[in-house]
Amino acid sequence: MNGIESTIKSLDKHLGNTLRHIRLDNGLTIAEVAKRASLSRGMLSKIENGLTSPSLEKLEHLANALGVTLSKLFHDYDTPRGGAQYVKNGEGMEVVRRGTKSGHTYHLLAYDQGPKKLFEPFLISLEEESEVFAPFEHSGVEFIFMLEGRLEYTVGDERYILNPGDSLTFNAEQPHRPEAKLKMPIRYLAIIYYDSLDAMEHEQD
């Protein structure tokens, strides 16, 4: 097993343990969480046991089902405590690659923000072979800043064309997703902001 495979296995194990602990703390069964997250009980069991790498969509559904932020699932994973967090270029934690293809790459750029998670910053890369996104809906306000390429992005019933330097801010409770890849490669920064009440509610769940 090489270093990358070892890191992925370690992350899968961490995610599984974290999901199980949050589920048990909330007094929920595998069947209850699986139903909320639109997953089979077998799939959730595999994820909790670190036997499979969940896609971003599955993690998003599980976080929503458990009432926590996506970053809470990665909390305490290989992170320094206190002080500033320095992430060098190209060294943000690769969270997941959507589905079985390597087209959607998410790098979580900060994942140790103290007792309350007020924001989640992601660097997102889309490649030609990437799969189509299902619409996302979650709490908070999302800010997108286009770095490279050209992308059509949908928020609710509206579509926006994003070029380098363009930005988009919206209520993330609306359905939203990358719609069409117009010029490759595509890279953009996505930051999800939560108000203090949202953050406290997520941490208490």
| Residue pLDDT, tens place only, 97-130 | 444 344 677 777 776 555 556 788 889 988 776 6
| Domain range list for the chain | 3-74, 93-204
Q: Which of 177, 163, 63, 65 is nearest to 120 (CA)?
A: 63
Angle at 43 between CA 38 and CA 48, to 5 degrees: 110
Q: Which CATH superfamily is domain 3-74 in?
A: lambda repressor-like DNA-binding domains (1.10.260.40)
What token pair was written down for 49?
Answer: 């046991």
What token pair was written down for 37?
Answer: 């997250």
Contact indicator for 71, 120 with CB cutoff of 8 Å = yes
Alpha-carbon distance of 138 to 175, in angstroms, equals 8
pTM of the shown model: 0.58
pLDDT of residue 137: 84
pLDDT of residue 182: 94
Give, in words, the CATH class of 93-204: mainly beta
pLDDT of residue 130: 66
Could you tell me the pLDDT band of residue 3, with boundaries at 50, 70 and 90? very low
Query: Mean pLDDT lowest for which of 80-89, 147-156, 160-169?
Result: 80-89
